[in-house]
Structure 1
Amino acid sequence: MSVQGFVDIIQGPLAQYLAISKQIGGVVASHSDIVHKAFQAQLDYITLASQSRQPTQNEQIALLLPTSEQITAIQEFREKNRSSQFFNHLSAISESIPALGWVTVSPAPAPYVQELNNTGQFYTNRVLKEWKEKDKKHVDWVKAWVQALTELQAYVKQHHTTGLVWSGKSAPTGACAPPPPPGCPPPPPILADMPETADASNDRSALFAQINQGENITKGLKKVTAEMQTHKNPTLREGPAPFKAPQQTIKSVGAPIDKPPSFVRDGKKWLIEYQKGNQNLLVENAEMNNVVYLYKCTESTVIVKGKINSITLDSCKKTSVVFDSLVSSVEFINCQSVQMQVFGKVPTISIDKTDGCQVYLSEESLDVVLVSSKSSEMNVLVPKGNGDFTEFAVPEQYRTTVNPGGSGLTTIIVENKG
């Protein structure tokens, strides 16, 4: 039943996702081929679990390798196609495909699948926003993928509530199983084959002669000094540190990819990626329909001259952006300790899954709309007019109650007075 339940997912919503991906074509279709391989690799793993005992950690590492390789390939494919018009499609899959790692999670793997599904929905929402008025295929594509992960969560909850069930008794076998351990060492040589060194009676005579030395038997012993005595040298009582065997860990799903820094202009897009400690990044001579996209930049500063369409900071840390004016918005996604300052106009500021964001506004931007979700430590600094700023914290805590009669909910901000 466990295996058949997973097959139903592959033949149901996943098959629909694959079919629509082929209709969209291009990188979306190519990406879906790798996704299909990842699910097939997991099917092989679940089938093995239904027939075998639970493997050792070393065996598990080898058995999970095919799935892990496909997940890595999915994420690397996204990285190679950042300039594609379907980048949000690729990101939706890449951010949520680690849900297949539920097989290593216990005691509650189903919530793990749900969490990864939610992570990908940030990008599926972008797909819906961009394509719902252009082409219905993309809306159906989103629904099929979200449904595949939703059914995966239900499957895990039903069949593997506390973790993957290994229901067999035999050792794991198959193409992906680790090689058997080396055979036993050869037996020791038989005593009969050893050369005779001396007669046993001679050995006993020599032994008794040593014992009969009397006081002379201790002449060859080394004298124990004070520093060798444990009661006079406490450090000797500590003993050697206990031996700890090196731990092997399963290859993490979706491991971060570190690449050389890049600063390129691709048509209307300015792509600034993997910058580290660079405080002199300058975007100038940009046009009003241009966008600036920062990805995985650390301890860097970007200055944007002139008026452009939008700026996005994705997975950046300790990075600042300073700009004149924007037509649309500035977005912070999955960032840590970031700052922005606007000298002109910015209509919207979006902060999502970000911890630590300082927003310096200008006089022209006091009518800005700030939208935040799943974020913390957000502060807006409003100019006083004398060069100083007044700092305001964006609320993070709310209190929700049910309206009388169950007609709805009422939510209010809970101010921190501490």
Structure 2
Amino acid sequence: MKDPRETNRQSKFFHHLSAISESVSGLSWVAVAPAPSPYVKEMGDSAMFYSNRVLKDYREVDKIHVEWVQNWSNVFKDLQEYVRKYHTTGLAWNTRGGNAMGNLKAAPPNCGVPPPPPPGIPPPPPMVKLDVKAAAADDGRNDLFASINKGADITTGLKKVSDDMKTHKNPSLREGPKPFVKQSSPAGRNSPARDPFSGTPRVVLEGKKWFVEYQKDNKNVKIDAKMAQTVYIFRCQNTVVQVKGKLTSVTLDSCKKSSVVFDNLVSGAEVVNCQSCQVQVMGLMPTISIEKTDGCQVFLSKESLNTEIVTAKSSEMNIVVPKPDGEFAELAIPEQFRTKLNGLSLTTTCTETC
């Protein structure tokens, strides 16, 4: 059977499928001993990286996807609580034994038999369809014949035309309609453009996710995070966020001239829709993703020299790495590529100007 996640990489629900694929093995806790509860928690946390991608894509577009992420996270949260309470050291069986079929109760009489249908309603009397057009036509013909039968008296009902209504005595009536002249509308007031960074600033922990939103000119945002937590930084400007402790992931979304400094990551960092932002890791960072960003500097530590860097639709990206003598070297990520057709495949290489 093919993996639904791998066969649907082009689907708009790929991040949903990835979140499920990363965490669904937590349902196999029945085979884990002697401590299945931490296993359920670990599998639920492994979906956070892709859950954050879903929140980033649909946070301000469709709330039903945000609810989906919350509900999927609650599945493992409630399951962990249940396993911790009733199956602390592994799957617990009924110690009293017995036949499971003996716990079935007899069904009540007439179970499942629907009540008789209500007596039928007599059909309404047939409706007579009136031909309105035919009746109107008959009335028109009758009026016409009645007028013709008047003979010489047919003109008695006409009105007399006065001089002011005659065109040969009133030249103004001979003028045609005036050409249409478009009236100039008053210049509308130019409404000021809405500041994308205007909003209610907040730094709050909701569940296992820190939200840092709409911070402006704040160089002292500090967070003490734990391993199972994530940090989501949204629409911040001229802001520095310092994160202490080991956590799962960090995301910068739609920020400008902002920086984030953290110790260690379990999953990775992500920079999306940002301008002139900086990311610095003091310890270990497995991966970093840069997407739709103009201007990004990533400062790596000695422990993060093997970090995997994924970029898409971005420019002015630089990686700063430490040298053995204690100095730092700045390396630019290529932005221009050359692609050649090789039979039925493509060969892409970096251009000389990269």
TM-score (norm 1): 0.41
Q: Which has the higher helix share?
A: 1
Structure with higher Rg: it is: 2
Q: Which has the higher strand share?
A: 2
TM-score (norm 2): 0.48
